[in-house]
Amino acid sequence: SAGGRAPLLNWFSSLVASEAHLPQLEAELRTARAVAVETLPLDQGKKRARVLAWSFMSAPERAARGRVLWGDAGREQPQQPRG
């Protein structure tokens, strides 16, 4: 955590228009010590984009943070296998 303080946000995200930028962005996030990095497709008609999402907290830390903020409603849902 920054300066020994608990992070305030579980996830950060950014819209990425060009898929060619993803490898460099993901590498930069790993260098910045992001623990989780996800790329989510965002398609609308012929337009394709993606959302790059990252967190500096582990899954258990995110789940604990969610429980503090929202009780059982803050529990992270299990991730579905990607096919």
What's the pLDDT tens digit per position in 35-51?
Answer: 999 999 998 888 889 99
The pLDDT of residue 1 is 44
- Kindly give the pairing relationship between strand 12-16 and strand 47-55: antiparallel
The pLDDT of residue 32 is 94
Closest CA to 80 of 34, 49, 48, 38: 38
DSSP code at position 29: H
Residues of the chain with pLDDT under 50: 1-2
The pLDDT of residue 64 is 85
Instruction: In whole angstroms, give the CA distance from residue 8 to residue 15.
Output: 21
Is the entire prediction scored with pTM above 0.85?
no
